Amino acid sequence: MGVIVPLVIPGVILLLLGLVFAILAFSNEEPGIGICTLTIAVVGLVMILAGMSEGVGSPKTSISAGEYSVAFVNQSGNNIALGLVIQDADKQGHLVYYMFNRAAFEGVIPEKATRLTVVESGDFKKLVLK
């Protein structure tokens, strides 16, 4: 479930409560309250859909050509997890989590790598850790 839980679970609760109270309000012929509770239900539905489609916290799997500073390297089977320090416009570094298949790398994967070089030629990319 991971990161989607903060949006999905409250969204389900809002959706269910909004629908129940809307049904009760419309059955008692109170359209003003019914519309308010339907709005709550729609907000809940939006939260559910946003939480399921956002993928917040998932590792990035695509990277552009260039050189990057490496914070950590972790190899698990054919997957290589990298923590890269990406500079933003204010020259502050942010740790971004990437995951690539072992086949994308050239040479040995050093556990204490400090630099990642991404070379791009057409649709082909090769990653080199140093």
Measured in degrees and rounded to the nearest 5, phi and psi for residue 83 equal -105, 110
In a domain, 81, yes or no: yes
Angle subtended by helix axes 31-54 and 5-27, to nearest 10: 160
> For position 53, what pLDDT does the model report?
60
In a domain, 6, yes or no: yes
> For position 71, what pLDDT does the model report?
93
Look up the pTM and report it. Answer: 0.55
In a domain, 12, yes or no: yes
Give the number of C-alpha atoms closer than 13 A to the C-alpha of residue 128, restricted to the C-beta side: 9
Write the pLDDT tens digit of every residue in 83-114: 999 887 777 788 888 999 998 888 888 989 99
Residue 1 scores a pLDDT above 50:
no
Average pLDDT estimate for 112-129: 87
Give the span between the Cα atoms of 22 and 83, in whole angstroms.
47
Domain region containing 113: 66-129
Number of domains the chain is built from: 2
